[in-house]
Structure 1
């Protein structure tokens, strides 16, 4: 008996936009998915050939890259941070738009010139992207890995700079920080395990095309 496809979806900001898109693609989680008291991480769906797992965004990429899940939705920031060879990202889903940016205290932002620095300490959950960005400027970045509350790092002396996702910039302003550089734009992507695409092509290829059509329709309507 063929095992069900495993579709990995992220907790957090992308989930609210992902669920309507999944429904349009004909995929709906079972009722316990929406029960906040239910601590399950794997759920059935309206399709007998598909289960869903709900995990942290960074873990979506890992589950799909290693074949534990066959397909998933995650931000392009996560894809680029890990750069897994076995991860294929065929569709920009055209939601979850934000940017990965550098920020620092407002009073320092006007005085700091990165081109004159050789070393900076940066608080971030994106150490690989951060190091690559600062290296392109000729600056060595010492990354302090945090999984949240990045905006606290400068005021508490943990790091002078942060690298984090920015949408409106409101959180930065409320914490006395100023966005000083954009590293990359970010949006949600459909990802597929490359091996699964070969071994489960009959099931995955139509899904990819369905999501591609929905993303194109969304762009046309915007």
Structure 2
């Protein structure tokens, strides 16, 4: 296998399971190599790991700073970079959804709307979704606490990631419709995928054996 393959890994909620996956697959000698370090670039054996914000991973991979990356499908869908999506890793499960105030039934049936004001941290996903419905959407980009937007009259609805739905309930919002499921994905630089085809296929095979391939099983314990 080629020495020097570089992985871009996401800080935040996906990081512990990502480290566990790499360790179980044999690409890390010890989980502590990544979990206990504050370095942003870490070399372990033949592999180099770049630790960065999830939203930066497609950039590193597209431009060849990393051969491979692990990132949420939400980031992939929002950015739509020129990278290959190789494998659904089946952890970090949540979904994109449209939500609205419980006490505003006028916007609960999206099929009856001709226009809407939507707030989201994912403006491109939001635009494409409403365009597909034939609804004219004014999209307001936010960077956090998107649930606030309909509560203060900034937007009619929001498009956001939903896991348990607790935050929606606590803010008197309800999920109107699910847009798509989101999980962590393995992505690759397009040139690296061709040049290091054998090495990357070996990595995909090892990951598949742990995440259950096309099944809904994850064995990271």
Q: Same fold (TM over 0.5)?
A: yes
- TM superposition shift of 1:31: 4.7
Residue range with higher mean Cα deviation, 182-191 or 11-20? 11-20
Q: Does 1:12 align with 2:12?
A: yes
- Residue 58 of structure 1 is matched in structure 2 by 55
- Tell me: CA distance 1:27–1:178, structure 2 relative to 1, closer, same or farther (3 Å): same
- The normalised TM-score by structure 2 is 0.87
* 2:90 and 2:211 in contact (8 A); partners too: yes
Distance 2:87 2:218 in 1: 17
- TM superposition shift of 1:8: 0.9
Give the gaps of 5 or more residues in structure 1: none
User: Residue by residue, what CA displacement relative to the aligned partner does 1:88-134 show, whole Å, maximum 9, x if unpaired?
Assistant: 112111111111000111111x2323333322221112111111111
Q: Does 1:44 align with 2:39?
A: no
- Residue 164 of structure 1 is matched in structure 2 by 160
- Residue 34 of structure 2 is matched in structure 1 by 33
Give the gaps of 5 or more residues in structure 2: none
1:103-118 correspondence to structure 2 within 5 Å: 103-108=99-104, 110-112=105-107, 113-118=109-114
Q: Does 1:175 align with 2:176?
A: no
Distance 1:114 1:219 in 2: 31
1:1-222 correspondence to structure 2 within 5 Å: 4-28=4-28, 31=32, 33-35=34-36, 38=38, 40-45=39-44, 47=45, 49-84=46-81, 86-108=82-104, 110-112=105-107, 113-216=109-212, 219=216
User: Residue by residue, what CA displacement relative to the aligned partner does 1:127-150 show, whole Å, maximum 9, x if unpaired?
Assistant: 111111111111122221122211
* 1:98 and 1:167 in contact (8 A); partners too: yes
Cα RMSD (Å): 2.3
* Number of matched pairs: 215
Distance 1:221 1:204 in 2: 20
- Tell me: CA distance 1:220–1:139, structure 2 relative to 1, closer, same or farther (3 Å): closer
- The normalised TM-score by structure 1 is 0.87
